Amino acid sequence: MQLQVAPSILSSDFANLGRDIRMLNKAADIIHLDVMDGTFVPNISFGFPVIEAVAKIARIPMDAHLMVVNPHKWFERCAKLGVQMCSFHLEAVGARKAASNLKAIRALGMKAGLVVNPDIPVEKLYPFIGKADFFLIMSVFAGFGGQKFIYESLDKVAALKAEIDARGDSAPIEVDGGVSASNAGALREAGASILVAGSAVFKAEDPAAAIEAIRNAR
Protein backbone atom coordinates (compact mmCIF):
# COMPACT_ATOMS: atom_id res chain seq x y z
CA MET A 1 0.00 0.00 0.00
CA GLN A 2 1.17 3.52 -0.85
CA LEU A 3 2.23 5.39 2.29
CA GLN A 4 0.03 8.38 3.08
CA VAL A 5 1.11 11.37 5.14
CA ALA A 6 -1.44 13.05 7.41
CA PRO A 7 0.02 16.23 8.92
CA SER A 8 -1.51 17.23 12.27
CA ILE A 9 -2.52 20.88 12.25
CA LEU A 10 -2.07 20.93 16.03
CA SER A 11 1.49 22.08 15.29
CA SER A 12 0.54 24.49 12.52
CA ASP A 13 0.50 28.27 12.84
CA PHE A 14 -3.11 28.98 13.79
CA ALA A 15 -2.63 32.64 12.91
CA ASN A 16 -1.91 31.45 9.37
CA LEU A 17 -4.14 28.41 9.22
CA GLY A 18 -5.48 29.15 5.74
CA ARG A 19 -1.97 29.33 4.32
CA ASP A 20 -1.03 26.06 6.04
CA ILE A 21 -4.14 24.22 4.78
CA ARG A 22 -3.46 25.37 1.21
CA MET A 23 0.07 24.02 1.52
CA LEU A 24 -1.34 20.68 2.76
CA ASN A 25 -3.82 20.57 -0.15
CA LYS A 26 -0.83 20.43 -2.48
CA ALA A 27 1.70 18.46 -0.46
CA ALA A 28 -0.15 16.05 1.85
CA ASP A 29 -2.62 13.17 1.53
CA ILE A 30 -4.85 13.74 4.56
CA ILE A 31 -5.40 16.54 7.12
CA HIS A 32 -5.24 15.19 10.69
CA LEU A 33 -7.41 17.06 13.21
CA ASP A 34 -6.60 16.54 16.90
CA VAL A 35 -9.69 17.27 18.98
CA MET A 36 -8.96 17.33 22.75
CA ASP A 37 -11.44 17.99 25.50
CA GLY A 38 -9.23 18.56 28.55
CA THR A 39 -10.82 15.56 30.28
CA PHE A 40 -9.83 12.44 28.34
CA VAL A 41 -6.45 14.11 27.82
CA PRO A 42 -4.84 16.86 29.93
CA ASN A 43 -5.02 19.46 27.17
CA ILE A 44 -7.55 21.37 25.09
CA SER A 45 -6.90 21.92 21.39
CA PHE A 46 -9.74 23.03 19.12
CA GLY A 47 -13.25 22.04 18.14
CA PHE A 48 -15.87 22.46 15.47
CA PRO A 49 -15.48 26.16 14.61
CA VAL A 50 -11.90 25.42 13.60
CA ILE A 51 -12.83 22.22 11.74
CA GLU A 52 -15.49 24.19 9.89
CA ALA A 53 -12.94 26.76 8.80
CA VAL A 54 -10.57 24.01 7.66
CA ALA A 55 -13.38 22.25 5.78
CA LYS A 56 -14.04 25.36 3.69
CA ILE A 57 -10.62 25.18 2.07
CA ALA A 58 -9.57 21.55 2.49
CA ARG A 59 -9.29 19.72 -0.82
CA ILE A 60 -7.95 16.49 0.68
CA PRO A 61 -9.71 14.22 3.23
CA MET A 62 -10.04 15.35 6.85
CA ASP A 63 -9.24 12.83 9.59
CA ALA A 64 -10.72 13.68 13.01
CA HIS A 65 -8.87 12.08 15.95
CA LEU A 66 -11.27 12.50 18.87
CA MET A 67 -9.41 12.55 22.21
CA VAL A 68 -12.55 13.12 24.20
CA VAL A 69 -14.87 11.34 26.60
CA ASN A 70 -18.19 10.37 25.00
CA PRO A 71 -16.93 10.67 21.43
CA HIS A 72 -20.28 9.45 20.05
CA LYS A 73 -21.77 12.88 20.83
CA TRP A 74 -19.68 14.38 18.05
CA PHE A 75 -19.84 11.91 15.16
CA GLU A 76 -22.76 13.65 13.49
CA ARG A 77 -21.11 17.07 13.64
CA CYS A 78 -17.98 15.58 12.10
CA ALA A 79 -19.95 13.98 9.28
CA LYS A 80 -21.85 17.20 8.57
CA LEU A 81 -18.59 19.11 8.21
CA GLY A 82 -17.36 16.59 5.64
CA VAL A 83 -14.89 14.70 7.83
CA GLN A 84 -14.09 11.46 6.00
CA MET A 85 -12.14 9.57 8.66
CA CYS A 86 -13.27 9.65 12.29
CA SER A 87 -11.54 7.87 15.15
CA PHE A 88 -11.93 7.56 18.93
CA HIS A 89 -10.01 5.84 21.71
CA LEU A 90 -10.94 2.32 22.82
CA GLU A 91 -9.90 3.16 26.39
CA ALA A 92 -12.27 6.17 26.39
CA VAL A 93 -15.36 4.04 25.81
CA GLY A 94 -14.67 0.35 26.55
CA ALA A 95 -15.07 -2.60 24.21
CA ARG A 96 -18.86 -2.86 24.04
CA LYS A 97 -19.42 0.81 23.28
CA ALA A 98 -16.53 0.75 20.80
CA ALA A 99 -18.37 -1.71 18.57
CA SER A 100 -21.52 0.42 18.46
CA ASN A 101 -19.48 3.60 17.94
CA LEU A 102 -17.76 2.07 14.92
CA LYS A 103 -21.15 1.18 13.48
CA ALA A 104 -22.45 4.69 14.12
CA ILE A 105 -19.49 6.28 12.34
CA ARG A 106 -19.96 4.00 9.33
CA ALA A 107 -23.69 4.69 9.24
CA LEU A 108 -22.85 8.39 8.86
CA GLY A 109 -20.76 7.58 5.78
CA MET A 110 -17.34 8.10 7.39
CA LYS A 111 -14.45 5.69 7.76
CA ALA A 112 -14.42 4.41 11.33
CA GLY A 113 -11.12 4.29 13.21
CA LEU A 114 -10.21 2.80 16.58
CA VAL A 115 -7.28 4.26 18.54
CA VAL A 116 -5.17 2.96 21.42
CA ASN A 117 -2.67 4.79 23.61
CA PRO A 118 0.79 3.26 24.16
CA ASP A 119 -0.22 1.49 27.41
CA ILE A 120 -3.05 -0.49 25.82
CA PRO A 121 -2.02 -3.96 24.56
CA VAL A 122 -2.46 -4.24 20.82
CA GLU A 123 -4.41 -7.51 21.23
CA LYS A 124 -7.33 -5.42 22.49
CA LEU A 125 -7.80 -4.25 18.91
CA TYR A 126 -8.08 -7.74 17.40
CA PRO A 127 -11.81 -8.21 18.12
CA PHE A 128 -12.46 -5.12 15.99
CA ILE A 129 -10.76 -6.35 12.84
CA GLY A 130 -13.50 -6.33 10.24
CA LYS A 131 -15.48 -3.78 12.27
CA ALA A 132 -13.08 -0.84 11.93
CA ASP A 133 -12.06 0.75 8.64
CA PHE A 134 -8.67 1.71 10.05
CA PHE A 135 -6.67 1.45 13.27
CA LEU A 136 -4.61 4.18 14.89
CA ILE A 137 -1.65 3.20 17.05
CA MET A 138 -0.45 6.05 19.26
CA SER A 139 3.33 6.19 19.42
CA VAL A 140 3.17 8.84 22.18
CA PHE A 141 0.54 9.36 24.87
CA ALA A 142 -2.30 11.40 23.40
CA GLY A 143 -2.47 14.99 24.56
CA PHE A 144 0.43 16.97 23.17
CA GLY A 145 2.42 17.44 20.00
CA GLY A 146 6.20 17.33 19.99
CA GLN A 147 6.76 14.24 22.16
CA LYS A 148 9.39 11.58 21.60
CA PHE A 149 8.48 8.52 19.51
CA ILE A 150 8.04 5.35 21.60
CA TYR A 151 9.95 2.65 19.73
CA GLU A 152 7.92 -0.27 21.13
CA SER A 153 5.12 1.01 18.89
CA LEU A 154 6.85 -0.63 15.95
CA ASP A 155 6.19 -4.07 17.47
CA LYS A 156 2.54 -3.21 18.02
CA VAL A 157 2.16 -2.17 14.39
CA ALA A 158 3.81 -5.37 13.17
CA ALA A 159 1.65 -7.57 15.41
CA LEU A 160 -1.55 -5.83 14.34
CA LYS A 161 -0.57 -5.96 10.67
CA ALA A 162 0.07 -9.71 10.93
CA GLU A 163 -3.30 -10.25 12.59
CA ILE A 164 -5.14 -8.14 10.00
CA ASP A 165 -3.47 -10.09 7.18
CA ALA A 166 -4.14 -13.45 8.86
CA ARG A 167 -7.83 -12.61 9.00
CA GLY A 168 -7.90 -11.57 5.34
CA ASP A 169 -8.78 -7.97 6.20
CA SER A 170 -7.20 -4.88 4.69
CA ALA A 171 -7.76 -2.11 7.25
CA PRO A 172 -4.87 0.36 7.09
CA ILE A 173 -2.81 1.13 10.20
CA GLU A 174 -2.23 4.78 11.06
CA VAL A 175 0.52 5.81 13.47
CA ASP A 176 0.52 9.08 15.42
CA GLY A 177 3.12 10.71 17.66
CA GLY A 178 6.76 11.61 17.21
CA VAL A 179 6.75 10.49 13.58
CA SER A 180 9.49 11.90 11.37
CA ALA A 181 11.55 10.92 8.34
CA SER A 182 13.91 9.14 10.74
CA ASN A 183 11.35 6.51 11.85
CA ALA A 184 8.93 6.57 8.88
CA GLY A 185 10.87 3.88 7.00
CA ALA A 186 10.73 1.52 9.97
CA LEU A 187 7.02 2.24 10.42
CA ARG A 188 6.30 1.46 6.78
CA GLU A 189 8.36 -1.72 7.09
CA ALA A 190 6.34 -2.73 10.18
CA GLY A 191 3.08 -2.33 8.26
CA ALA A 192 1.88 1.23 8.81
CA SER A 193 0.32 2.93 5.82
CA ILE A 194 -0.83 6.31 7.18
CA LEU A 195 1.64 8.43 9.13
CA VAL A 196 0.55 11.42 11.18
CA ALA A 197 3.20 14.08 11.75
CA GLY A 198 2.85 17.39 13.53
CA SER A 199 6.13 18.97 14.58
CA ALA A 200 8.20 17.12 11.95
CA VAL A 201 6.15 18.93 9.30
CA PHE A 202 5.26 22.30 10.77
CA LYS A 203 8.51 23.01 12.62
CA ALA A 204 10.48 22.23 9.47
CA GLU A 205 11.83 25.08 7.38
CA ASP A 206 10.10 23.62 4.32
CA PRO A 207 6.96 21.73 5.45
CA ALA A 208 6.16 20.41 1.95
CA ALA A 209 9.66 18.96 1.66
CA ALA A 210 9.32 17.44 5.15
CA ILE A 211 6.10 15.69 4.05
CA GLU A 212 7.85 14.36 0.97
CA ALA A 213 10.77 13.14 3.10
CA ILE A 214 8.38 11.19 5.36
CA ARG A 215 6.57 9.74 2.34
CA ASN A 216 9.79 8.58 0.72
CA ALA A 217 11.66 7.45 3.84
CA ARG A 218 13.24 4.03 3.61
What is the set of active-site residues? 34, 176
Contact 70, 39 (CB under 8 A): no
CA–CA distance, 28 with 204 (Å, rounded to integer): 14
Q: Which is nearer to Zn ion, 101 or 117 (CB)?
A: 117
**114 strand-pairing partners:** 88, 135
CA atoms of 160 and 135, how far apart (whole Å): 9
Give yes or no for residue 215 binding ligand DX5 (CB under 6 A): no
Alpha-carbon distance of 12 to 105, in angstroms, equals 27
Least Cβ distance, residue 39 to ligand DX5 (angstroms): 14
DSSP symbol at 147: P
Q: In angstroms, what is the minimal distance from the CB of 168 to Zn ion?
A: 28
Binding residue count for ligand DX5, defined by CB under 6 A: 22
Per-residue contact track with ligand DX5, 131 to 150, x per CB under 6 A?
A: ---------x-xxxxxx---
d(CA 201, CA 38): 25
Using CB under 6 A as the criterion, which residues of the chain lie in contact with ligand DX5 when the complex forms? 8, 10-11, 32, 34, 65, 140, 142-147, 176-179, 196-200
What residue ranges bind Zn ion (CB under 5 A)?
34, 65, 176
